[in-house]
Amino acid sequence: MATRWGIAGAGKIAHDFISTLRSMEHHEVVAVADEYFPQNARDLSKLHGIPTIHLTYDELASDTNVDIVYVAVIQPYHHTVGKVILNRGKAMLMEKPFTLNPQFTRELIELAAQKKCFMMEAVWTRFLPSYRKMAECISSGQIGEVRYVNANFGLALDPGCRNKRLAVGGGAVLEFGIYLCNVCCMAFGSERPIRIAAVGHVNDEGVDETTGILLQYTRGRLANLTASTETALPCNAVVVGTKGKIEIPGMMWCSPSVITPDGVTHEFPFPDTALPCNYDNSSGLRYEAREVSQCLKEGRLQSAIMPHSETQLLSDMMYEIRKQIGVFYPQES
């Protein structure tokens, strides 16, 4: 039986996700809602042939035809919209970053448990074949003990774009840092850093544009990360262990390839999507969608690959980084 998706928030990533789902078997998009931009919901419905349009997220979450809601509203509203969905007892896939801060994240995790709803943060990279290969290399001990991670994600974005605006949840840490922190959580087996140090360049609005991050783990293990919405960086990730290293050679946030310790580059090309996508390699969203339907089928409340504890850890790390560079969002207070 197909997984029946409802879409909350009809922006660019929603379009890409729907386009990806349409290229997969056993997935259907049955409803869409956008409370703030209802025209976007109508447009998406028309473009993708989605049968139902709801006017509110609450209506969407109450739709018995919907198995799971994909929340693709902008970051600052994840917490509010998440509560609406969960309060109706509906399963939820929440776009990353999960919420703005650890307290909001904790509230949603508790609510999902209380309502016995499946819930997952859409850290799609974690499900990409390249990242699965990396995880496999690490867990099988092929590179020995992980000692060091270096990763960077930087694009030279237009000055006026959303990623540079505070009110809509921009910022290098929220937008790109999540991918860097995710690699570290994967590489260091979900350990919590013992110390975090960050320096960031904050624009006139109060949004960080270029941020350097050091994560110190026990026994001298270290991660060294850079996120930027200002400067085009190599966008690679390297995980160094006592016996070798693994590299994601570029576009680390959506890379179809990984270089294993033997120096071999493994390529995992992404299939086509139903319609052209807004973002690079969005077809890779299919792997998280597949995990979701698998979890739902098995009646699980969280994914073993991206469990709630990881979501909380990422949330904690990103908040500490932001706190150190002095970035706070109006929706937090």
Tell me how long the chain is: 333
Please report how close the Cβ of residue 179 comes to a second copy at its closest, in angstroms: 16
Pairing of strands 257-259, 91-95: unpaired
Residue 158 or 298: the one with the smaller Cβ distance to a second copy is 158
The residue written with tokens 């609510």 in the block is 111
Query: In terms of Cα–Cα distance, which of 263, 282, 266, 262 is closest to 274?
Result: 282
Q: Which stretch in 110-118, 134-142, 179-187, 199-207 sits in contact with a second copy by CB under 8 A?
A: 199-207
Q: Is 148 in the site for a second copy (CB under 8 A)?
A: yes
Interface positions, 254-313, toward a second copy (CB under 8 A): none
Residue 242 or 294: the one with the smaller Cβ distance to a second copy is 242
Q: Is 181 in the site for a second copy (CB under 8 A)?
A: no
Backbone φ/ψ region at 326: left (φ over 0), alpha (ψ -120 to 50), beta:
left
Residue 66 or 181: the one with the smaller Cβ distance to a second copy is 181
Instruction: Give strand ranges (E) for 102-234.
Output: 119-122, 146-154, 195-202, 208-216, 222-228
C-alpha Rg value of the chain to the nearest Å: 19
Q: Is 233 in the site for a second copy (CB under 8 A)?
A: yes
Q: Is 230 in the site for a second copy (CB under 8 A)?
A: yes
Distance, in Å, from the CA atom of 153 to the CA atom of 236, rounded to the nearest integer, reads: 7
Distance, in Å, from the CA atom of 195 to the CA atom of 207, rounded to the nearest integer, reads: 23
Residue 101 or 150: the one with the smaller Cβ distance to a second copy is 150
Residue 40 or 210: the one with the smaller Cβ distance to a second copy is 210
Q: Is 11 in the site for a second copy (CB under 8 A)?
A: no
Interface positions, 202-221, toward a second copy (CB under 8 A): 209-210, 212-214, 216, 219-221
Site size toward a second copy (CB under 8 A) is 36
Residue 161 or 197: the one with the smaller Cβ distance to a second copy is 197
Name which position in 48, 54, 78, 147 contacts a second copy (CB under 8 A): 147
Q: Which stretch in 51-59, 94-102, 129-137, 152-160 sits in contact with a second copy by CB under 8 A?
A: 152-160
Please report how close the Cβ of residue 147 comes to a second copy at its closest, in angstroms: 4
Query: In terms of Cα–Cα distance, which of 191, 183, 311 is closest to 239?
Result: 183
Distance, in Å, from the CA atom of 125 to the CA atom of 132, rounded to the nearest integer, reads: 9
Q: Is 161 in the site for a second copy (CB under 8 A)?
A: no
Q: Is 22 in the site for a second copy (CB under 8 A)?
A: no
Residue 91 or 259: the one with the smaller Cβ distance to a second copy is 259
Please report how close the Cβ of residue 219 comes to a second copy at its closest, in angstroms: 7
Distance, in Å, from the CA atom of 189 to the CA atom of 176, rounded to the nearest integer, reads: 21
Q: Is 19 in the site for a second copy (CB under 8 A)?
A: no
Distance, in Å, from the CA atom of 101 to the CA atom of 317, rounded to the nearest integer, reads: 9
Residue 236 or 312: the one with the smaller Cβ distance to a second copy is 236
Q: Is 242 in the site for a second copy (CB under 8 A)?
A: yes
Q: Is 142 in the site for a second copy (CB under 8 A)?
A: no
Burial-class residue 1 by CB neighbours within 10 Å (0-12, 13-18, 19+): exposed
Distance, in Å, from the CA atom of 260 to the CA atom of 247, rounded to the nearest integer, reads: 7
Q: What secondary structure does DSSP assign to 58-72, as a single string?
A: HHHHH-TT-SEEEE-
Which residues partner with 5 through β-bridges? Answer: 29, 68
Q: Is 175 in the site for a second copy (CB under 8 A)?
A: no
Where does this chain bind a second copy (CB under 8 A)?
Answer: 147-148, 150, 152, 154, 156, 195, 197-201, 209-210, 212-214, 216, 219-226, 228, 230-234, 238, 240, 242, 245
